[in-house]
Chain A
Amino acid sequence: MGNWERMVWNQRHLLLDGLVVTVEICLIAFAAAIVGGLVLCLVRLYVRPLRPVAIALIEFFRATPIFVQLLWVNYVWPELFGWPDTFFTAGWVALALQSSGYLAETFRAGIEAVPRGQREAGLSAGMSHPLVFRRIVLPQVLLMVAPSLVNQFTVIVKSSTLVSVITVQDLMFQSQKIVHTWLDPIEILTATAAIYILVVFAVSALGKALADVLRRRYGLATS
């Protein structure tokens, strides 16, 4: 067990630093993906002239592997758009792109599931379109799609391991650095895999519990 102590426990600061970066990049990517997905979905549903563009983007983001997108954003975007300027930014942008495609479709299904009569009732009570959307449609949609959001977040956490490839110093990066220093991968890689499995398990279990609590409190049947 000397190896476990030397290579895992004694390196806990490195691993913790990595875990912090992983959490940061996942949260930023998730927030960006929700905003991006909502925008794509609203454009697709309500902005007639831009609809084909939104559909093309959604399909492109959904049907391209995350690893390919990551390298594409990292190598091609800086020359095309002069941005992103750091590897960290490229990492979360790629993660967010992929998820925003999926979330756009999730949001669309949610919006289309809100009965039309509710929107008409709001309009005939004198509420404006944006107000109806914000006060009546959106809260119900968010409750409806909460489990899918949780699921998408776990996908982001799993995909975030790939940002180590473009030298973002996340947990995977630190663990491979330790492997390269000690040339003995058994303990450290096993520990890393276990950490990731536990984190993803905890995120999905907690997220599901939270979604259920919210849905029960605000009156949507739990599934």
Chain B
Amino acid sequence: MSGALAEALNPALFWEYREILLKGLAFNFYVFACAAAAALALGLGAALLRVNRWRPVRWAGTLHVEIFRNAPDYVMVVWVHFVLPLLLGLAIGQRLEFPPFLSAVIALGLVYSGYFAETFRAGIQSIPFGQIEAGRACGMPERLILWRIILPQVVRRMLPEAVNQFVSLFKATTIVSLIAVPDLMYQVSMVTQQEMRPLPLYTGAALTYFAIIFLASSLVRAGAERWRQKVYA
């Protein structure tokens, strides 16, 4: 066992392939950035549907949230990659195929938009209605009320919850290797097939992800808290 432990913690092999592994890690960050942008935009859209004054519109928002919040990430990734292009292809009468990267961004963006929508909605509903009425009484159009009065407060209130969701989203980017996006996990399994030494590679990957997520989430959490206290009494 001590031999196996030394092998697992031996960083030499991980270091030897550092270039390709770092490139893989960069893909994790690309997927994360694009999916986060998509999830925030879609989530805000769905949240606005859920606070709309018309009931059918609210139902549409609720449906969006319940479908994507309850869908497992992996199932969504596989569905978007293998089924969605076929359905779109049938609709426009042409063969379609998504590159894996696009499928990964769409799938994770959709799933996390469900979570973000709930966070946005809670934030929006925590704004006292009197502020909106005050805005209307001053003659502000609804769009301006949203951008100037509601959203700045919502963003500050939802920040701690949103940080947790960004962390989960980053963790979820590891599964995109399963549809052959060349991320860190994909490269690790490729190198493992060449070298036949899974111990140092998988342990290295686990420690790398741990270090990134642990450091980033502690830093962001501390930074967000300070920013909130400075801007928001």
Contact = CB atoms under 8 A, between A and B. Distances in A.
Chain A interface main SS type: helix
B39 interface: no
Interface string A188-199: 011011001100
Interface in B174-212: 174-175, 177-178, 185, 189, 192, 198-199, 202-203, 205-206, 209-210
Given A76-B202, A196-B75, A63 B185 contact: no
A159 interface: yes
A112 interface: no
Contact of A80 (B5, B167, B189): B5
B185 A71 contact: yes
Interface string A165-192: 1000000100010010000011001101
B198 A192 contact: no
A42 B134 CA distance: 52
Given A185-B82, A185-B83, A161 B75 contact: yes
A162 B175 contact: yes
A185 B174 CA distance: 23
B214 interface: yes
A204 interface: yes
Contacts, number: 111
Interface string A49-93: 000000000011001111111011001100111100000000000
B70 A197 contact: yes
B199 A68 contact: no
Contact of A64 (B5, B8, B70, B206): B206
B86 A186 contact: yes
A66 B210 CA distance: 11
B74 interface: yes
A63 B82 contact: no
A190 B189 CA distance: 28
A64 B213 contact: yes
Interface residues of B, number: 42
B75 A172 contact: yes
Contacts of B206: 64, 68-69, 72
Nearest to B5: A80
State which size class the interface on A falls in. 35 or more
Chain B interface main SS type: helix
Best-buried of A66, A76, A165, A190 by chain B (most CB within 10 Å): A76
B123 to A, nearest CB: 18
A42 B202 CA distance: 30
B4 interface: yes
Contacts of B178: 165
Contact of A158 (B8, B72, B174, B192): B72
Interface in A141-179: 154, 157-162, 165, 172, 176, 179
Contacts of B175: 65, 67, 162
B31 to A, nearest CB: 13
Contacts of A161: 72-75
Contact of B83 (A66, A176, A186, A197): A186
Given A66-B171, A69-B206, A185-B83, A200 B8 contact: no
Given A59-B214, A76-B203, A186-B83, A68 B185 contact: yes
A9 B167 CA distance: 39
A4 interface: no
A159 to B, nearest CB: 7
Given A72-B205, A158-B73, A193-B79, 15 more contacts: A63-B209, A64-B206, A64-B209, A65-B213, A71-B189, A72-B202, A79-B8, A79-B199, A80-B8, A161-B74, A179-B82, A186-B87, A189-B83, A196-B75, A197-B71
Interface of A: 59-60, 63-69, 71-72, 75-76, 79-82, 154, 157-162, 165, 172, 176, 179, 185-186, 189-190, 192-193, 196-197, 200-201, 204
5 contacts: A64-B210, A67-B177, A76-B8, A158-B71, A186-B83
